[in-house]
Amino acid sequence: MSVSPLALAARSPRRTLLYALPVIAVLLVLPWVADQYSTILLAYGLVMAIAALGFNLLLVYTGLLSFGHSAYFGVGAYAVAMMVKYLKVSSMELFVVGAIVASAAVSALFGFVCVRYTRIFFSILTLALSQVLWSLAFKFFWITGGTDGLRVPTPSLLGVTPGGDKIAFLARGYYYYVLVLFLACAAVMWVIVNSPFGKALQAIRDNETRASFVGVQIWRCRWVAFVVSGVFTGLAGALWVPLNGLTTPDILHWQFSGEIVFMTVLGGFRTFAGPIVGAVVFNYLKTYAVGYTVYWQLLLGVILVTLVLSLPTGIVGMVERLTERVRRRRATAS
């Protein structure tokens, strides 16, 4: 039996595109079919999907559970708000660049400390550092607006200042803006996890000692992964602000980090698409839960516990298992 080494090497981009294309088509058409409200919710979901993708680079590919990703999301969002308040910037492109620079700087600093630890110590350290930022944003209200937060008006996209209805702007122009950035982020992340660097991360996750004895520089690789993860999350924060119109310390609080963890688990963190699906679904879920009952936390908590107890592979894992079963049944039938 002859095996082609290339066939074994990894999944080809072509096969992934085969799955991705119909989804992209749906995402493109949706604003013309769905109402504005649902479209904006989807935009929220896509923004959170970028954050979840970044988070999952650490969780599944590096084996590090961060409970402090709110820090980078918040830094991205506050970077935008500060640019508005102090620099009178209104261009979304500049916001994106500013948020990337700010979140890269903060995650480089925090990551430098955190990647020296693993397991629970990593989780607690990331949580602690994010809480430092939260308490600063909370207490230095003359800079950050405190609990009132900072307002962010609708930005200009590619130099075009939107006129008229804000809702319409968010549901059309801004939605597509978010969609393009989301697709770019997903593509970049897909390349990263399938790169030699991605392989090295997985090797570190599986066996740190051995990885160092094949010449992989453990801390360096983890640190780079940490910064990439932070930048993705920071970018998500920047895209989130115009949707929300306001940034408050809530997005720096560790419970927000918990939500990022939640959505990743919901979608299924063992797969590349899991966090994306999880983020979009979580966003709808939370919105409806909040609208349906004041006890939405209770509802989400029950869902999370049930999920972890009985469905640890998440939505994507479940769908994969179901399609596999159907396929097998068909194979035996024919």
Q: Any idea of the CA torsion for 27, 31, 32, 35, to the nearest 10 degrees?
A: 130
How distant, in Å, are the alpha carbons of 69, 95, 303 from that of 227?
Answer: 11, 19, 31
Q: Which of 150, 228, 236, 280 binds another protein (CB under 8 A)?
A: 228
Query: Nearest approach, Cβ of 20 to another protein (angstroms)?
Result: 15
Amino acid present at 262: F
> Considering CB under 8 A, how many residues would be counted as binding another protein?
79
Instruction: Provide the sign of the torsion angle of the four alpha carbons 56, 189, 131, 113, taken in this order.
Output: positive
* Phi, psi for residue 160 in degrees, rounded to 5: -95, 120
Identity of the residue, 177 or 262, whose beta carbon is nearer to another protein in the bound complex: 262
Binding of another protein at residue 287 (CB under 8 A)? no
Q: Which stretch binds another protein (CB under 8 A): 69-77, 79-87, 233-241, 288-296?
A: 288-296
Nearest CA to 43 among 20, 25, 27, 22?
27
* Phi, psi for residue 227 in degrees, rounded to 5: -70, -45
Residue 147 DSSP symbol? G
Q: Which residues from 34-93 bind another protein, rule CB under 8 A?
A: 59, 65, 67
Binding of another protein at residue 147 (CB under 8 A)? no
Q: Which of 213, 330, 333, 334 binds another protein (CB under 8 A)?
A: 213
Binding of another protein at residue 226 (CB under 8 A)? no
Q: Which stretch binds another protein (CB under 8 A): 48-56, 160-168, 251-259, 278-286?
A: 251-259
- Distance from C-alpha of 260 to C-alpha of 281, rounded to nearest angstrom: 12
- CB contact burial 179-215 (16+ within 10 A = b; e otherwise): bebbbebbeebbebbbeebbebbbbbbeeeeebeeee
Identity of the residue, 37 or 141, whose beta carbon is nearer to another protein in the bound complex: 141
Query: Nearest approach, Cβ of 169 to another protein (angstroms)?
Result: 33
Q: Which of 41, 150, 261, 285 binds another protein (CB under 8 A)?
A: 261
Binding of another protein at residue 104 (CB under 8 A)? no
Amino acid present at 233: T
Binding of another protein at residue 184 (CB under 8 A)? no
Binding of another protein at residue 281 (CB under 8 A)? no
- Distance from C-alpha of 262 to C-alpha of 17, rounded to nearest angstrom: 27
Binding of another protein at residue 18 (CB under 8 A)? no
Q: Which of 90, 91, 108, 117 binds another protein (CB under 8 A)?
A: 117
Amino acid present at 273: A
Binding of another protein at residue 290 (CB under 8 A)? no
Q: Which stretch binds another protein (CB under 8 A): 36-44, 83-91, 191-199, 237-245?
A: 191-199
Nearest CA to 20 among 171, 231, 179?
179
Q: Which stretch binds another protein (CB under 8 A): 84-92, 171-179, 186-194, 239-247?
A: 186-194
Q: Which stretch binds another protein (CB under 8 A): 36-44, 76-84, 135-143, 239-247?
A: 135-143
